Homo-oligomer: A and B are copies of this chain.
Amino acid sequence: MAAEHTIIDRNAPIGVFDSGIGGLTVAREIMRQMPDENIVYFGDTARVPYGSKSKNTVIRYSRQIAHFLRTKQVKAIVIACNTASAHALEVLEAEQDIPVLGVIKAGAETAAKTTKNGRIGVIATRGTIDSGMYEQVLREIDPEFRIFGKACPLFVPLVEEGLTHDFITEEVARRYVKDLQYKDIDTMILGCTHYPLLRTLLRKVMGEEVTLVNPAYETAIELKQLLQEKGLDRQADRSEPAKYEFYVSDLADQFQEFANSILPYDVAGTEQIDIEDF
């Protein structure tokens, strides 16, 4: 399918998906930076987490979600999940005739611009670290970069338990990043969408000398530029404010509670769908 032959409606929504609730940090950045854009968000809460699943499984899940989002006539797809970006971005780019963005490239490019000593840390789920995807993208930018990855499997459950400012999480964080500190990194990528919610704590643990890169923020910037370049940014009618729709594969109530705690407005309704039908 060749992208140049497809007529895409610039007023259509942006599709954003994640393995669960973490991708809401990406949706939040898109809402902040592109307040006119409509968004359809899908959180795969029935099959979360992706971080401990194999590449083939994550590709299969991502394909189903892309099919679902296309039924909502989205004009672009943002993979707001590092694991799915690592495993499934290339496949979806090849199969879809609309723009597809992952969070990894934007994060890696910003880290590449930020680092002065070429020593970059990446913290993420086991799946993202094992995929080596940040390392691969960073080395394509500069083969001289030294990249140090560290899987932090406890961060997501700690955030979901609300312990974002707790000494338990701080102690866990100190152990996780100890290796990275010995490696003299000057830049650290928050390679999982939950991690920006630990920013204050990680700043304290890492100190001011290490710059934290938030791929959610960088992805929203990249998306904005891409939509403008392609003439796909919404021509907003001021009488019609942006619309946000939320879909999940399980437990809509719990999703909504978390969404309301991190989004700047209250989510009115979240619909549960059977993603295995797509």
CA distance A48 to B47 in the complex (A): 8
Within residues 32 to 61 of chain A, which ones have a CB less than 8 A from any CB in chain B? 45-48, 52-54, 57
Q: Provide the residues of chain B in CB contact with A160, threshold 8 Å.
A: 153
Q: Provide the residues of chain B in CB contact with A52, threshold 8 Å.
A: 45, 48, 251, 254
For chain A, the bracket of interface size reads 20 to 34
Do A54 and B276 have beta carbons less than 8 Å apart?
no
Do B251 and A54 have beta carbons less than 8 Å apart?
yes
Do B172 and A168 have beta carbons less than 8 Å apart?
yes
A161 at the B interface (CB under 8 A): yes
Q: Provide the residues of chain B in CB contact with A157, threshold 8 Å.
A: 153-154, 157
Copies in the complex: 2
Q: Provide the residues of chain B in CB contact with A18, threshold 8 Å.
A: none
- Residue of B whose beta carbon sits closest to that of A155: B157
CA distance A153 to B158 in the complex (A): 9
CA distance A47 to B275 in the complex (A): 13
Q: Provide the residues of chain B in CB contact with A276, threshold 8 Å.
A: 276
Q: Provide the residues of chain B in CB contact with A48, threshold 8 Å.
A: 52
A144 at the B interface (CB under 8 A): no
What is the predominant secondary structure among interface residues of chain A facing chain B?
loop
CA distance A250 to B49 in the complex (A): 13
Do A53 and B153 have beta carbons less than 8 Å apart?
no
CA distance A160 to B126 in the complex (A): 12
A171 at the B interface (CB under 8 A): yes
* Selected contact of A168 from candidates B168, B250, B251, B254, CB within 8 Å: B168
Q: How far is the CB of A62 from chain B (nearest CB, A)?
A: 14
Q: How far is the CB of A193 from chain B (nearest CB, A)?
A: 17
Do A57 and B153 have beta carbons less than 8 Å apart?
no
Q: A57-B250, A250-B53, A276-B276 are in contact. Are A161 and B168 (CB under 8 A)?
A: no
A240-278 vs B: 1/0 string, CB under 8 Å?
000000000011001000000000000000000000100
15 contacts between A and B (CB under 8 A): A46-B47, A46-B53, A47-B47, A52-B251, A52-B254, A53-B250, A53-B251, A54-B250, A57-B250, A153-B157, A154-B157, A157-B157, A168-B171, A168-B172, A276-B276
Extra pairs beyond A46-B57, A54-B250 (20, CB < 8 Å) = A45-B52, A46-B47, A46-B53, A47-B47, A48-B52, A52-B251, A52-B254, A53-B250, A53-B251, A54-B251, A57-B250, A153-B157, A153-B160, A153-B161, A154-B154, A154-B157, A154-B161, A157-B157, A168-B168, A168-B171
| 8 nearest A-B residue pairs (beta carbon) | A157-B157, A54-B250, A57-B250, A154-B157, A53-B250, A46-B57, A54-B251, A168-B171
